[in-house]
Structure 1
Amino acid sequence: MTDSRARTQPTAAAVLAYAESAIVEDDALLAARERAEELGAPAIAPSVGALLSLLARATDARAVVEVGTGAGVSGLWLLNGMSESGVLTTIDPESEYHRAARESFGGADVAPGRTRLINGTPRDVLPRLADDSYDLVFIDGPVINHPRFVTEAIRILRPGGIVVVHNATADGTVGDPESNDPVTVAAREAALIIADDDRLLPVLIPLGSGVLAAAKSRET
């Protein structure tokens, strides 16, 4: 006998709200998030942080690059999933953010040798990083620069590594055919760079403001 009652499908907003509520951040992460709010520094949603930890653990990440340090929220999530001997290289032009991130890492008892904070613009720093050397690259910089960041991320990723692009939807505008502002165009270009690279296996994950992740082939 079938149930004749109408089945209510959960809305996308309800699913996302549940995904966020299911994540519990520890005291160190909550303190880092408070620093981010005080500074006006963008911080990833807890669900995106949990995804970063999962991907770092799945790749047994020992060498990770982060574009956009902020107050250390995403860095803590990455470190939580990385190998205990892993080193996080995080890049940001704002020295004030670096000071806050150091406080956040110290509050989580992260050994100083596990983080390398580079005060500089990613477009200047990324080209100096070695080819095929990093297990995971997390891009959380200005969307307008995503095409350049993605190109460099693919270059420095080792075979089997993962690139993760935050706010890949440009706050949802990429799906609007009438949106052709420079930021939206840049987000689309970054996605096409990944889609057109035969070495990459991509997926768009509807968490936070949209996460685009892609794994690089293990074949050289």
Structure 2
Amino acid sequence: MVLSDDVTRFVRATGPEHTDVQERMDEFASEHHFPNIGPDAGAVLCMVARMTDAEAVFEFGSGFGYSASWFLRGGADRVVLTEFDADELERGEEFLSEAGLADRCSFEHCDAMDAIDRYDGPFDAVLIDHEKERYADAFEAVAPKLAEGGVVIADNVMYGPIDFDAVLAHLEGEDGAIDADDEESRGIAEYLDTVCNADGFETVVLPVGSGLAVTTKVD
């Protein structure tokens, strides 16, 4: 892990607890070995929704609705969930219905990159949490549809399916730091290069959960 155990425990001890439905979602994730963002990263999504007074949120990859539940908990008026696994999306609709939140959701069973073409925005918050090698493409697709002050959050930028040391070395300027066949690490590196150098945007990485890159539209 990138964070020390003590820091991780500290963040968890000061963070919000799950709702009853979120607790069942978390248990479902554990039983099915599904890589949830977890409550600490979820709390960031909740805070972003509150701070942007989010009317519309778009998710590139929604699984069974756990991340969407945090945006909705933060007061988001509407969340577009995208998921190519029909069973996961159906389970997400069931969970969010149990929580009384499904009427604020649009459930898209498709590739997220196809779905974004059908929505004009503007979006106040966006989550990118699908194939890592497609993160940069997702940002390029949604950036023109962000509201001023809108926020894009990318998950798994520090660890998970990537080589943290290789990505760090790349960011520090080491040529060839990432193996050519490590598509996930290369995808995250490309994404961070893209958002950190995008005109009109500011990016900060938060060492929460699996690492969140938080990018705000400032112009």
Under a length normalisation based on structure 1, what TM-score does the superposition of the two structures give?
0.86
Alignment of 1:1-220 (within 5 A): 12-23=4-15, 24-83=17-76, 86-110=77-101, 112-130=102-120, 133-171=122-160, 172=164, 173-177=166-170, 178-180=177-179, 181-217=182-218, 219=219
Change (3 A) 1:115 1:79: same
Using a 3 Å threshold, how does the CA distance of structure 1 residues 37 and 96 change in structure 2: closer, same or farther? farther
Shift of 1:190: 0.7
Between 172-181 and 189-198, report the one with greater CA deviation.
172-181
Q: Counterpart of 2:126 in 1: which secondary structure?
A: strand
Q: Secondary structure at the match of 2:215?
A: strand
Q: Which runs of 5+ in 2 are unaligned?
A: 171-176
Q: How does the TM-score come out when normalised to structure 2?
A: 0.86
Cα shift at 1:170: 4.9
1:8 alignment partner in structure 2: none
Instruction: Indicate the RMSD between aligned Cα atoms, in angstroms.
Output: 1.7
Unaligned stretches of 5+ residues in structure 1 = 1-10
User: Can you list the C-alpha shifts for 1:102-126, whole angstroms capped at 9, x where unaligned?
Assistant: 121012121x330001000112222
Contact 2:60 2:113 (C-alpha < 8 Å) held by counterparts: no
The alignment covers a number of residue pairs equal to 204
Q: Is the 8 A contact 1:143 1:170 kept in 2?
A: no
Look up the equivalent residue of 1:121 and give its one-letter code: D
Of 42-51 and 169-178, more deviation after overlay is shown by: 169-178
Deviations 1:157-181 (A, max 9, x none): 1111000000123532411453332
Identity of aligned residues (%): 25
CA contact (8 A) 1:65 1:138 kept: yes
Please tell me the residue identity of whatever aligns with 1:18.
F
